[in-house]
Amino acid sequence: MYRKLFLFVSIVFMLLTGCTDSTQLTKNEDLGIREIANFYAGNCEYSIGAESSAGRDTGKYFEIKLSQSNVANNFANLPEFTASNMAYLFYSNLKSERKSYDQIHSVIMLKGDDKYESKYSTAQLDTIATKLAVFNKAIASIKAKNYDALKAMLSDSTYTGAAKNQLIEDLQKADPVFGDVKGLTLYGFRFETKNGVNGLNILGVIVREKKYHPISILVDLKPSDNKIGYLAYSFPPK
């Protein structure tokens, strides 16, 4: 059974920037907490601790707890995306501090006293960073309307030639409806298996000239395979 050994007293960060005293944090850790608080516009608490089993330490973690966030409540049916995004936002701000932790923990307090907790190893977060580059390349191809480049990224194991052509045709038809791509808001990640592909589902909202819309892309997790196993202009199922 795991027991948590909290090494520091949790500090509550209120409102948007949410940080009134960061003396226990490094500059980069403070930046990570502030980015989460700014993005989710809620209350943010942190704690640093270690887990132990059979009397032995099994790893050090940094835990972030988010509450009173309308953004998180809006995505209450997909809490794992919020949790993973919190962990990644924090981790991506770290430099030398990365070697200080084995896991990043996310805790989300939702409406009705619902609670969601998830843990991410630093190896998983490094994988997210690697596969996010594939996602960003796909978004860049959509923005540039370079659909030949996007088509080349689609996996042969999940898309037939006809299916690739149909997807590209559908995306091209959507361009005049939504307008030019102006930007992207990233909402998180989920490790999952879909259509036989063990992958990372990356969720975002594309900011367009006329109308915003979600995008969900499943990137194959195999280190040597940066192919897209699934792409849709929709939110993923629960």
Residue 163: give its domain's CATH number.
3.10.450.590
Question: How do 213-220 and 228-232 pair as beta strands?
Answer: antiparallel
Residue owning tokens 């969601």: 116
- pLDDT profile of the chain (238 residues), mean per 10: 31 37 79 96 94 75 97 96 98 97 98 95 97 98 98 96 98 97 97 93 98 97 92 93
Asked if residue 119 is part of any domain, the answer here is no
Q: Is 196 left (phi over 0), alpha (psi -120 to 50) or beta?
A: left
Asked if residue 134 is part of any domain, the answer here is yes
What secondary structure does DSSP assign to the chain, as a single string? --EEEE-S--EEE-TTT--S--TTS-HHHHHHHHHHHHHHTSEEEEEEEEEEETTEEEEEEEEEEEES-HHHHHTTTSHHHHHHHHHHHHHHT-SGGGGG-SEEEEEEE-GGG-EEEEEEEHHHHHHHHHHHHHHHHHHHHHHTT-HHHHHHHB-TTT--HHHHHHHHHHHHHHHHHH-SEEEEEEEEEEEEEETTEEEEEEEEEEEESS--EEEEEEEE--TT---EEEEESSPPP-
Clarify whether residues 84 and 175 are in a common domain: no
Q: Kindly report the backbone phi and psi dihedral angles of residue 211, in degrees, each rounded to the nearest multiple of 5, phi listed first.
A: -155, 135
Clarify whether residues 165 and 133 are in a common domain: yes
Say how many CA atoms lie within 13 Å of 91 toward its Cβ: 29
Which pLDDT belongs to residue 23? 42
Question: Cα separations (Å) of 11 from 83, 227, 237?
Answer: 19, 42, 35
Clarify whether residues 158 and 97 are in a common domain: no
Full-model pTM: 0.88
Give the residue from 86, 113, 140 where a domain finishes: 113
Asked if residue 39 is part of any domain, the answer here is yes
Clarify whether residues 132 and 109 are in a common domain: no
Which pLDDT belongs to residue 81? 98
Asked if residue 49 is part of any domain, the answer here is yes
Q: Is 188 left (phi over 0), alpha (psi -120 to 50) or beta?
A: left
Clarify whether residues 137 and 82 are in a common domain: no
Structural domain boundaries, residue 43: 3-113
Give the residue from 90, 113, 136 where a domain finishes: 113
Which pLDDT belongs to residue 238? 83
- Identify the bridge partners of residue 52 per DSSP, sorted by sequence position: 3, 57
Give the residue from 113, 142, 158 where a domain finishes: 113
Clarify whether residues 162 and 64 are in a common domain: no
Structure tokens at 3: 């027991």
Q: How many structural domains compose the chain?
A: 2
Asked if residue 141 is part of any domain, the answer here is yes
Asked if residue 121 is part of any domain, the answer here is no
Which pLDDT belongs to residue 176? 97
Which pLDDT belongs to residue 17? 37
Clarify whether residues 36 and 91 are in a common domain: yes
Exposed / middle / buried, residue 213 (Cβ in 10 Å: 0-12, 13-18, 19+): middle
Which pLDDT belongs to residue 4? 32
Clarify whether residues 152 and 109 are in a common domain: no
